[in-house]
Amino acid sequence: MSPAPFAEIDETRLRNGFGVKWGAVSADTISAWVADMDFEVPDHVVNALSKTVAAEDFGYPFWPEGDPVIRAFENRMNRQDWTPRPDRTPIYTDLIQVLQGMNEHSTAAGDGIAVQVPAYPPVLATIERSGRHIVPIPAHENGSGWTFDTPDLADHLRASTCTMLLLVDIADVAQAPQRARLKRSTSLDFLARSLRSAPTPHGSNGSGPVTHGMKMD
């Protein structure tokens, strides 16, 4: 890995590979349509994969002390001042699986699910195919950047029978000042309080399984 791995990308390497992100577009197009990694893979990841391939260790895994992915996740969350409950962290191989599980567990057919748009198309398709309807929270340009603060949003969510607010992590695309503004915003707390007090198809005044947020990283 180069000393400055995030200073630039190697377009030649990307365009000569088999990845659809760069292979499906013309040479005069900067590909930014799917979240494939463009930067170099860290050395410790390459070394771990090379070690596995060299050992031909391709069978189903067995970790007597627990899945190391769970330990890595819990350690990372601990550094973020959150301690996950023991034995409550499942492993999923796809983000859409998580959303499908949340849909079935926390909402019912006909419910509204609020989501920031534009959004990853399979997220929107999954909501619609599950018999729920999308309640869009559009991005607005305010002169200094983009924001999801929408006047009367809480009233709109209540009127849309919204029972789940899907929060998509924007850390990958937002710069530090934008993330700081998001953290200082009171909009999410306001929305959570509004949804909690809103009557839902599952019970009055938030007594049913209303999900206020879902962190995806």
Per-residue pLDDT, 169: 54
CA-based angle 95:100:103, to the nearest 5?
130
Burial of 37 per CB tally in 10 Å (0-12, 13-18, 19+)? exposed
How many other β-carbons are positioned within 10 Å of the β-carbon of residue 98?
14
Which two three-digit tokens encode residue 192? 């959570």
The CATH classification of domain 95-206, taken from the options 1.10.1040.10, 3.30.420.40, 3.40.1190.20, 3.40.640.10: 3.40.640.10
Burial of 202 per CB tally in 10 Å (0-12, 13-18, 19+)? middle
Euclidean distance between the first and the last CA atom of the chain, given in angstroms as a whole number: 24
Sequence ranges of the domains in the chain: 95-206
Instruction: Report the C-alpha gap between 165 and 146 in whole angstroms.
Output: 19
Q: Cβ contacts of residue 170 below 8 Å, gap of 6+?
A: 178, 179, 182
Per-residue pLDDT, 140: 81
Phi, psi of 76 (to 5 degrees): -65, -45
| pTM greater than 0.75 | no
Smallest CA-to-CA distance from 115 within 213, 205, 208, 217 is with 213
3-state secondary structure of 149: coil
Per-residue pLDDT, 168: 64
CA 196, chain centre distance (Å): 22
pLDDT in tens, the chain (217 residues): 667 777 888 999 999 989 999 999 999 998 887 878 899 888 999 999 999 999 999 999 999 988 999 999 999 999 988 998 888 888 888 889 989 998 999 999 999 999 988 888 889 999 999 999 999 988 888 888 888 777 788 888 888 889 998 876 544 444 444 444 444 444 445 455 444 444 444 443 333 333 334 333 3
In one letter, which amino acid is 149?
Answer: D
Burial of 107 per CB tally in 10 Å (0-12, 13-18, 19+)? buried
Instruction: Report the C-alpha gap between 158 and 80 in whole angstroms.
Output: 32
